[in-house]
Each structure stands twice: as structure tokens, then as C-alpha cells.
Amino acid sequence: MNDRLMTLAEARERILSLPLLLTEQEVARVLGCLVDTVRRERKRDKLEFTRVGGRIRHTDDQVRAYIANQRALERLLRAGHLRGPKVYFLEAPPLPAVKIGYTRSPASLLVRIAVLQPGCPYQLRPILVVAGSIHLEQDTHRLFAAERLKGEWFERSERIDRLIAILRSGVSLSDALCGFASTVVEAA
């Protein structure tokens, strides 16, 4: 027999800590969209889900992650950051990795994220999108060659975080890369 019986308050707390499971109809109501839209987003791997007894359910955390990702993309679109050629930085928390890529247009960036998502176990999120060319993307890859994991994926490092902070302050990618190159030469 147990040394200690669970109190009623502890039992309630344990039950309330279980994730809330939502049907696609409930998610559609929360998002203010059609059930077909929820299904489409799930099938495109933009909205994570859980199977319970063969039925599809969504936790509140999965819905929150979807909403946060959509808001981040909307902010980038509204700010005009997705017009013209861009260099982008993606993350997939909790992985300590950053994807540094190039895109010619906003539509191709959104398509690129949708294509990459099925191969990633975590929700991909844009960190930053800046004006840039394929040459600047390649220069960025060369600068962080020591942090390269595979392809365009790099280990998240202090140096990458510093570059992102500099870019967020409004410095162009070409100027930021020149600044980084000069600090590397000075340190050597």
C-alpha cells in the first residue's frame, strides 16, 4: 500500500496539468477559420497534432506555436521585409541550430519553410529576414564555416547571435559582414 495517499487538491492539480486536447472544429473556432483550413495547415505540417485513439487532436501548446509562427510571418510581411531578394535566418527551438538561406521573393520563402517543415521535428520559425543576395548568403556561410552542421544549417553560437543582433539594429548584411571580417583579422 502507498505510504502516502494523494490529497484531493493534488489530484485536481494533476488532472488540470494534463494538456487540453482540441478537435479540428474547436481549433477552427479559436482561429476564426474554416475546418478545411485547419486540415490544410495540418497536412502542410504547419500545425502540429497528436493522435489519440486514431483521432486527430491538437494541444493548446501546438495551437499557440502555430499562432506565434503565423504572427511572425505576418509582421515580416507588413513591415515589407519580404519584398525582393533576402537572406533569412530560421530556427527550430529547442534545437541549437540556425538555417541561413537565400530567397528571391516572399512567396518562395513561405514555400521554402513549408517544404522544410516536414523534415524537422520542431516548428520552424523565422528569426530574421534581411535584404541580401545569394553572394551575401554564401559569404555568411563562409564566415560561419566552423559552426556548419550540414548544408545551410549552423550550430547556434555567440557569433551568430551577435550577427543577428547587429542586423536587428538596422545595419545592412554587407556592412555587418565587413565588420565581422575586420574583427576576425584583428583577432588573428
Query: Domain ranges in the chain?
Result: 1-79, 80-188
- What's the whole-number mean pLDDT along residues 36-45? 86
Which has more pLDDT, 46 or 57?
A: 57
Average pLDDT, the chain: 82
Fold classification of 1-79 is: Multidrug-efflux Transporter Regulator; Chain: A; Domain 2 (1.10.1660)
* Cβ–Cβ under 8 Å, residues 173 and 81: no
pLDDT of residue 185: 41
pTM for the full predicted model: 0.60
Q: Which of 178, 23, 47, 157 is nearest to 98 (CA)?
A: 157
Residue 5 has pLDDT above 70, yes or no: no
pLDDT at 12 over 80: no
Choice between 91 and 111, residue whose per-residue pLDDT is larger:
91
Q: Between 188 and 69, where is the model more confident?
A: 69
Contacts of 177 (CB under 8 A, 6+ apart): 136, 139, 140, 143
